[in-house]
Structure 1
């Protein structure tokens, strides 16, 4: 009964304003936040460099300047598209090349600044709006649900953050929604062209992020269950489209298989052990990021206690809302609707959650890996709100209550986006939360030298190349092998040791510097969390 309902005037105005705000938040201050660890790898890959050659060229104990390091984050005629593909294949095979290839052409046309590189993600995030609207038309046959879903996504703090991230996750979000919409269209029209469109959308997803395979499996379970586990023409069409899609992905699948050991090495952090209580706590926090995000655990609450109170109040509210939305969807919609949402939620989340619970790991507490899961939840919430805020089979008081709920939810999203838009870092840049403070300290020094081990140097330089533009040109770096203790030149007034990769190295440096070079490490000048120490003459 909701498919022909037009939103009331006030709601149409609100939805248009939210859409405009969503576009604005995706492009405002694109270069403000630090260009963190993952993003510097994006630049490294799109410009055709490998980590090994960078380490070989600069991690040799010789003094280098900012300009010597910046070249690895900018294009050069020496590196071609082939080098981009080779860099990914050899060192990051788990990242398919579509996003990196397109971004390479993008920066060749428009420049290689931080804002330009991130602008492609911002633009690709705009595709989410028509894709989620189309999906809602196919799934719910309701433009109202589609507009509410657009509003939720437009001011979702999570989607806005990743729209400003030089990574593939905004593009992946769009391909998830596109493949889902084309699947439902193909099942409805049952034409060869519609199934071919689904196959193409699946290929785009697979070449954007490998976890698109989970989305395709979820689609398959949905098709088979909808067809009552019979070998119908629809099931055959799905199997043929999927086969074509996976055949098209075979070249990169072979790359992953050949370099599987490297992929495992690069992603070994996902096996880090955490307690189940911590894991579940992080699940709840991550879920809240799609609706409210004032910088949890960033220290921003120290001066804004009201934000802490507001967050504590709204997180339980969000959990209740999500649970009720899913149950409401299952009770009020036909099987073809709720089954699609549940398979999208369950099939894409369980393969990450179960290993974490049984074997240990942090796969399921990495929210970017669970984007299909969260999209399913947002679809359920959009359906609940859309069907409860209009005067059809809903009494006036209940209608007003849900209108208040929707306004609170969307207002929280807007305020969260305002809060994060002015920040220099945020929770998703977890490895570089304190980098802005480190740079401020170094910049205020006169004649500074920053020393670090080879691994540590990448944490300071390759991980944080956006900050190299903010570091004063007077700053020099000495990147050293961990097995050797550096010889400190005499022409620097301020010498820093930054982020050694392990404490034993720090102890070796301390002993060698004290005994041979008459230096000592002052440990209590800066907070330990900064991983920055000052070296002073005795």
Structure 2
């Protein structure tokens, strides 16, 4: 460890360079990627409207323009901050209100544009770097080597770039995890150093800081409860399973944090029972994928990500290479450090991930939408790899040192390439339901005077809002609620968005038109209405499969 206390000058310059590049990537092309389903719902909650209110005003069989959607995607004079909180409490309590309160205040200052909304996350992501420095200092007790490498890796990590450019709470959650973890380690260290002197004021201050940061983390994301469990397991392990003063103080601090979170817990519990007795249990489902390939790809995306599809064999080769690196990093940190160091890393990686993985092992598949819940595991893995690389820079063997220099260089190159590809792309794997929105928008924008018709079933609400950011002002929308639309004249092309088989056939019969499928995938089915003499009749019975999700 004493060798790690002095970082070579080249490592300092490298850290500064990569940190600068990471900041530039975070603030570049913020409005370039698809504004997708989850961001749309986050903006709806921030605006203070409920989804029912939005549907009542938009899906009413009237022709509207894209400007009509703006009211439900940002701050407006009709709704207050209290409406933002109540919207979450009524329809989305699994998302605590802290991020949405901050986002509303932010948009009141900087506006409702995509760049303004996403710039909040980009700014919050800058707090990750001092926080990870503090955490590594407390964990390893070295001033720069390990913290410097950890900052460098996180600055160019593609998974962090994804969340730093998302209008959601996940990057704020990462900051709160870092703060609560670092303050916990600081409190434990002070307990050990002041065991005899028992300087109560210092200990009270740092334990109070832990309670406050844990409460903030809980008000940011509910999964912080499992991070708290990981902290508890670590404290008990560090105390060698003895109920000492440290364990007692930790339990008191955690209890204070959870009591502070109690008002929102009651909201969550109330909504859960309301869901059980409600007749309407329809939910929007994300894609199910095999669990082990999913975990392998997510591990790879910590270091290298150019949006390779799950069918691309190259992605699995790269993922296996990084799996080897991560596995050796965990083995090395367990062998080279004492149990108070490696047990923290292991609990941070394993405990928050187990509730996600274990229930899905029997089924063999997992929902792709749960990947943000693995942020604590990403953090633990990156710290372990940073420790390995920083340690090997001082290896006594010249050959081994050269080998690890090459590994570190490759990891950095992978991160830089990934970040460059990611910030320039118009869509990415995390966009899920709306991954293909740019392709759909391109098809519709090619028409001279297009009309897009859709209802509010299934994923359509999010799809329509996502498309509204990409479609040109000439496009008009005719949104209906379980009704056959009255199609007005004056449009050169009419498109149907995800029509059910019955709905599509009824429209075809009423207007004596035929439907031509112009685009289809898992989440989008775009049909174009045309006169029979202008288009060859196609068999639209396949719409049963295309509309299975509606």
Q: Which residue of 2 aligns with 1:412?
A: 414
Matches within 5 A, 1:344-423: 344-358=348-362, 362=366, 366-390=370-394, 392=395, 394-423=396-425
Supply the RMSD in Å over aligned alpha carbons. Answer: 2.1
- 1:429–1:272: structure 2 CA closer, same or farther, 3 Å change rule? closer
- 1:520–1:298: structure 2 CA closer, same or farther, 3 Å change rule? farther
Equivalents in 2 of 1:114, 1:406: separation in Å? 35
After superposition, give the CA deviation of every residue in 1:246-302 in whole Å (9 maximum; x if it has no partner): 00000111110111156788995679765xxx1111110011111000112299x8x
Question: Is 2:463 the counterpart of 1:460?
Answer: yes
How far 1:60 moved relative to its partner?
A: 2.0
Equivalents in 1 of 2:285, 2:186: separation in Å? 36
Q: Which residue of 1 aligns with 2:294?
A: 282
Matches within 5 A, 1:15-26: 15-26=15-26
How far 1:114 moved relative to its partner?
A: 0.7
State the secondary structure of the residue aligned to 1:366. Answer: helix
CA contact (8 A) 1:37 1:459 kept: yes
Equivalents in 2 of 1:16, 1:396: separation in Å? 26
Question: Is 2:260 the counterpart of 1:259?
Answer: no
1:509 alignment partner, one of 497, 503, 512: 503
Aligned residues: 515
Q: Which residue of 1 aligns with 2:480?
A: 480
Matches within 5 A, 1:278-317: 278-297=290-309, 309=314, 311-317=315-321
Structure 2: gaps spanning 5 or more residues: 192-202, 533-550
How far 1:132 moved relative to its partner?
A: 0.8
CA contact (8 A) 1:15 1:148 kept: yes
After superposition, give the CA deviation of every residue in 1:376-415 in whole Å (9 maximum; x if it has no partner): 111111110010012x4x3001001001101101110110
CA contact (8 A) 1:364 1:370 kept: no
Q: Which residue of 2 aligns with 1:162?
A: 163
Q: Does 146-155 or 186-195 show the bigger shift?
A: 186-195
How far 1:7 moved relative to its partner?
A: 2.2
- 1:422–1:516: structure 2 CA closer, same or farther, 3 Å change rule? same
State the secondary structure of the residue aligned to 1:162. Answer: helix
CA contact (8 A) 1:48 1:80 kept: yes
- 1:350–1:534: structure 2 CA closer, same or farther, 3 Å change rule? same
Matches within 5 A, 1:427-446: 427-446=429-448
Q: Which residue of 1 aligns with 2:131?
A: 131
Q: Which residue of 1 aligns with 2:495?
A: 496
CA contact (8 A) 1:497 1:534 kept: yes
Equivalents in 2 of 1:378, 1:389: separation in Å? 17
Q: Any runs of at least 4 consecutive aligned residues in structure 1 with deviations exceeding 4 A, and if so which? A: 261-274, 527-530
State the secondary structure of the residue aligned to 1:415. Answer: helix
Q: Which residue of 1 aligns with 2:194?
A: none
1:318 alignment partner, one of 319, 322, 336: 322
- 1:132–1:289: structure 2 CA closer, same or farther, 3 Å change rule? same
State the secondary structure of the residue aligned to 2:307. Answer: coil
- 1:481–1:83: structure 2 CA closer, same or farther, 3 Å change rule? same
CA contact (8 A) 1:272 1:360 kept: no
Equivalents in 1 of 2:80, 2:64: separation in Å? 26
Question: Is 2:118 the counterpart of 1:118?
Answer: yes
Q: Which residue of 2 aligns with 1:188?
A: 189
Q: Does 96-105 or 444-453 show the bigger shift?
A: 444-453
Equivalents in 1 of 2:352, 2:368: separation in Å? 10
CA contact (8 A) 1:49 1:72 kept: yes
After superposition, give the CA deviation of every residue in 1:178-224 in whole Å (9 maximum; x if it has no partner): 11000000111131111001001101100000000101111011111
State the secondary structure of the residue aligned to 2:529. Answer: strand
CA contact (8 A) 1:168 1:209 kept: yes
After superposition, give the CA deviation of every residue in 1:143-194 in whole Å (9 maximum; x if it has no partner): 2111111111100000011100000000000111111000000111131111
Q: Which residue of 2 aligns with 1:98?
A: 98
Matches within 5 A, 1:184-223: 184-190=185-191, 191-223=203-235
How far 1:510 moved relative to its partner?
A: 3.6
CA contact (8 A) 1:92 1:263 kept: no
- 1:169–1:528: structure 2 CA closer, same or farther, 3 Å change rule? closer
Question: Is 2:24 the counterpart of 1:12?
Answer: no
Equivalents in 2 of 1:430, 1:158: separation in Å? 15
Equivalents in 2 of 1:93, 1:109: separation in Å? 26
After superposition, give the CA deviation of every residue in 1:312-356 in whole Å (9 maximum; x if it has no partner): 542221010010000111111001001111111111111111111
- The alignment's TM-score, normalised by the length of structure 2, stands at 0.89
Q: Which residue of 1 aligns with 2:197?
A: none
State the secondary structure of the residue aligned to 1:259. Answer: helix
Q: Which residue of 2 aligns with 1:150?
A: 151
- The alignment's TM-score, normalised by the length of structure 1, stands at 0.91
Structure 1: gaps spanning 5 or more residues: 302-307
After superposition, give the CA deviation of every residue in 1:5-42 in whole Å (9 maximum; x if it has no partner): 32223222211110101111110111111110010111
State the secondary structure of the residue aligned to 1:63. Answer: strand
CA contact (8 A) 2:36 2:462 kept: no
State the secondary structure of the residue aligned to 1:95. Answer: coil
CA contact (8 A) 2:46 2:104 kept: yes
- 1:122–1:396: structure 2 CA closer, same or farther, 3 Å change rule? same
Q: Which residue of 2 aligns with 1:176?
A: 177
- 1:146–1:270: structure 2 CA closer, same or farther, 3 Å change rule? farther
